[in-house]
Structure formats: C-alpha cells, structure tokens
C-alpha cells in the first residue's frame, strides 16, 4: 500500500507529534523557552504544502516537563504561540495544539499512546473520522496512539523501521509532504 492508495483528500485529518517532527528534539532535555525551539529543516515548507491537503491539522504532544515542574503551562503556551506565528506567517496551518502535561508514570488517558488527545480533537472538530486520519510521529508511542485510535501511521526517522504499528516511513515531514503531491 502507498499513500496514494489512501485517496487522501481534504476530508482527512492530520495529527502531528511536535518534538522530533516539527522541532528538533533536545537530547535528554525539554524545550523550555522559545529560544530553544528550532524548526526541523523543511518543516515550514512541509506545513505550507500540507495546508490545503487536509481539512484539519492538529498537534498532539506529550509534555511531561509540566508534570515534572520544569516549565509552567504558560511557558508552553508562549512556545506554541511563537511556533504558530511562524507557521501561519509562511502559509502553513495548525488548527489546534493538544498537549498532555502528565508524567509517564501517571498513565493518564490523554498521554500517548492513550487516545485522550484524539478524543479531545474529535470533540472540538466533530467531522474528524479516525479512519480518515494520519498520525505523523517519531516514536512508537505515536504509532500506538494512531493504532489505538484507528489511524494510519507515519514514522519519521532516518532509518526505515519495520513494525506492525507503522504504515509508512519517511525521513522527515517534508518527505512525507512531497510524497502526497508527486
């Protein structure tokens, strides 16, 4: 199966992980300030390309740095406001950002691989159909989130990985975006 076989049109929803998909992941650390947030090469162009292809584009991100009291929710909101400003300025779009502030040990239903954030998105955007949704992420918990909600899964990594939870592999979001338009 290829992405073309899915017949993606503007009734589909795109779920994006943040760290490792949109911005560079900090090794053994968290993005705590706007100055530490750095877009991955090609992401802003990818979001411009993806904008007209999907009805809804949302971010779903685990942010246990809040639960660990490393940053406050207001800090995260500022990081996200700046991120959205740059994306919108360059003709990209993210309709809403969902985050789970809970610690991994809490096993909260909003924390991926739980589907709480997907359910929040469906509540806000009732037209979302998980069978016509794709999650793009860089971790197995992202892939499990997608599987648990009934979505197609796209794994972002420099190395192609074979796993029953992964439908498609791409090196980055821009490669994924180009695959939909070529």
DSSP string, 126-150: TT--GGGEEEEESSHHHHHHHHHHT
Task: Report which of 10, 16, 12, 3 is spatially closest to residue 135, judged by C-alpha positions.
Answer: 16
Q: Which of the residues 9, 17, 129, 167 is marked catalytic?
A: 17
Nearest-CA neighbor of 23 among 173, 170, 152? 173
Active site residue 29: no
Identify whether the C-beta of residue 139 lies closer than 8 Å to the C-beta of residue 8: no
Q: Which of 5, 19, 75, 95 is catalytic?
A: 19
Judge whether 124 counts as a catalytic residue: no
Lookup: tokens for 139: 């971790």
Q: Which residues are designated catalytic? A: 17, 19
């Amino acid at each position: 199966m290829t992405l073309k076989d899915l017949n993606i049109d503007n009734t589909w929803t795109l779920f994006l992980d943040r760290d490792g998909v949109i911005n560079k992941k900090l090794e053994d650390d968290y993005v705590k300030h706007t100055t530490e947030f750095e877009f991955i090469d090609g992401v802003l162009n990818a979001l411009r390309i993806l904008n007209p292809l999907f009805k809804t584009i949302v971010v779903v991100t685990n942010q246990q740095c809040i639960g660990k009291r490393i940053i406050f929710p207001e800090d995260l909101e500022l990081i996200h406001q700046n991120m959205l400003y740059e994306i919108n300025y360059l003709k990209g779009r993210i309709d809403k950002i969902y985050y789970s502030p809970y610690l991994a040990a809490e096993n909260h239903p909003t924390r991926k691989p739980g589907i709480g954030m997907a359910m929040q998105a469906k509540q806000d955007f009732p037209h979302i159909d998980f069978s016509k949704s794709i999650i793009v992420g860089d971790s197995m918990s992202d892939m499990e989130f997608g599987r648990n909600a009934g979505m197609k899964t796209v794994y972002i990594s420099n190395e192609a990985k074979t796993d029953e939870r992964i439908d498609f592999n791409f090196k980055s979001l821009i490669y994924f975006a180009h695959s939909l338009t070529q």
